[in-house]
Structure 1
């Protein structure tokens, strides 16, 4: 693999060996992600479309249930489960990397098979963290905006953006949200493609992911910010931007994993 960083920390016993990453690795992974999407656009559009459709359905459900003010925090937290949604994209990138042919049946069967592997536990972890995110939003609304009335998203945004209580809610909410996002990013950025690639337990995968972030904090946090901003912008036009953004980032994440974790002995 070309352009890999040379720094390799001592190997932790029983854990996959990782290497230190640089900004050049992040840039190269992103370029590989664009290349994979260009080589297999239908797969990218399909998996991106599934994720976008899920977001649209949930937003419509919130409107139907008369809780439109939850759309904004949902849109902020929705990217937290993005890495799991990209599982099919990792398989596409792996096949392109190995020069193997792409076939819908084989790619989808690999994704379906994950339900009986350790990746299903990671899905539980991610959904649990997402539930915590939504719960803390409701808690902060009750604490800071509980005495205010808002029956529409427009009224909610007006209160949040024009009142002192709303500013405090935004400040505290984004700090708490950033902490939750950082934790989830750290335990998933490498763990999900690692679980797709090897037969290891999900706890080892999460530890490896956290070690990767701690070994290369600046490039990895930078990558996390790129992913967050790109997905948020993609969600703006009613999640339709995810048709392009999710597959590119998903493919790029696979290549970032391949650069961060050394091949198994």
Structure 2
């Protein structure tokens, strides 16, 4: 599909402007869906927590690599929550939901979800490698633990390492966030190409820069909380944000 065709395809969908407080409504709706069907959400959160624990176990003294891996999770999180989108969609339609509702969303009906997932994984891998290289090369000593990262990078008296790390992370994350904020739910819910979904996502962001900037901060904040609790918080954070992201999509995208 060429670019002009994808643009025409994207224009089939209207985008809605929302107030800056709408992310709070998405979180409330996400919490309601989670409480309606907690089992699948807890399993999604447990899977993420287990993956994080295995990652820490595999490289326990290499936080210069782990900090990029954990923050890179934000880039691929929209794919992880696919099953939760399906549950919220079923609840919206008044259907009975269970674990199999989420499992069915992972059955490959076409290549679109796979392609988009691979693109997000590529972006996440790029950030992990970039972050690790920056910390490894520019840190005055080896960053082996979270305490080292705090002392040598965040609270360093001289240099620009932490500011540069944040700026580079933001520079790489912003276009990925803009490309994915509604893309996976849209691909799940409608017949649209990957490029068409990405263009629609960009239209949504351009129409709602302030609410979606706040939404991005909320996602980062909740994820940081989940990591700061020894990953146990991910049991709740993952389903909450997953279900809320579905409601963000439904609020922001309509049909022509």
TM-score by length of 1: 0.86
Distance 1:127 1:57 in 2: 18
Distance 2:242 2:142 in 1: 40
Structure 2 segments unaligned to the other structure (5+ residues): 1-6
Indicate which of 170, 174, 185 corresponds to 2:166.
174
Q: Per-residue CA shift, 1:182-222, capped at 9, x if unaligned?
A: 11111111001001111211111111111100011111111
Written as runs of structure 1 = structure 2, the 5 A alignment for 1:100-249 is 100-113=95-108, 116-145=110-139, 148-164=141-157, 167-249=159-241
Q: Is the alpha carbon distance of 1:197 and 1:118 closer, same or farther for their aligned partners in structure 2, counting shifts above 3 Å?
A: same
Residue 7 of structure 1 is matched in structure 2 by none
1:84 aligns with 2:79: yes
Q: Per-residue CA shift, 1:66-116, capped at 9, x if unaligned?
A: 5243222322222221111111100000010000111323430222336x4
Q: How many residues align?
A: 248
Report the aligned-residue RMSD: 2.0
1:13 aligns with 2:5: no
Check whether the contact 1:37–1:44 (CA below 8 A) recurs between aligned residues: yes
Moved over 6 A (4+): none
Question: Secondary structure of 1:101's partner?
Answer: coil
Q: Is the alpha carbon distance of 1:253 and 1:81 closer, same or farther for their aligned partners in structure 2, counting shifts above 3 Å?
A: same
TM-score by length of 2: 0.89
Check whether the contact 1:37–1:247 (CA below 8 A) recurs between aligned residues: yes
Distance 1:153 1:106 in 2: 38
Q: Per-residue CA shift, 1:36-61, capped at 9, x if unaligned?
A: 01111111101111122111111211
Check whether the contact 1:33–1:255 (CA below 8 A) recurs between aligned residues: yes
Report the more deviating stretch, 253-262 or 67-76.
67-76
Distance 1:26 1:227 in 2: 10
Alpha-carbon offset, residue 228 of structure 1: 0.8
Alpha-carbon offset, residue 117 of structure 1: 3.1
Distance 2:27 2:154 in 1: 35
Alpha-carbon offset, residue 28 of structure 1: 2.1
Structure 1 segments unaligned to the other structure (5+ residues): 1-11
Q: Is the alpha carbon distance of 1:159 and 1:28 closer, same or farther for their aligned partners in structure 2, counting shifts above 3 Å?
A: closer
Alpha-carbon offset, residue 154 of structure 1: 3.8
Alpha-carbon offset, residue 26 of structure 1: 2.4
